[in-house]
Structure 1
């Protein structure tokens, strides 16, 4: 693959986090999705998604721990 054919993805961290949070919520405009697909780095999305899921699970475990604690 030549450098001329490479796609430069220049979205910042905030845009990646925003896309991941919207995906957890499940609501997204088609135009926003297309913009994300064109601008966001897929590796960064996967990493942010895994971290977001781990954080979500950690929050749920913490809530359950406090609810069932005596």
Structure 2
């Protein structure tokens, strides 16, 4: 007996790693919540299974860079 089931594709709005945009967006949200220090344990568990570590590293570096640039601009406008 041969199985006639074809491999299923992830839904357009799903947050699976196969869907690159959703994974990047989920990485941005995870990094943003991490910078604030607020994150649910259940969301953290979902992030571990749905996002790529490389995405988190890249988004984290960009976020820190933007934070430093923003603080430098703020200090320059005040001083």
Give the TM-score category using the shorter length: 0.7 to 0.9
Q: Which runs of 5+ in 1 are unaligned?
A: 1-7
Q: Which runs of 5+ in 2 are unaligned?
A: 1-15
CA RMSD of aligned residues (A): 1.3
| Runs of 4+ with >4 A deviation | none
Work out which structure has the larger RCO, using CA pairs closer than 8 Å and 6 or more positions apart in sequence. Answer: 1
Structure 1-normalised TM-score? 0.81
Aligned pair count?
61
Structure 2-normalised TM-score? 0.72
Specify the structure having the higher radius of gyration (Cα). Answer: 2
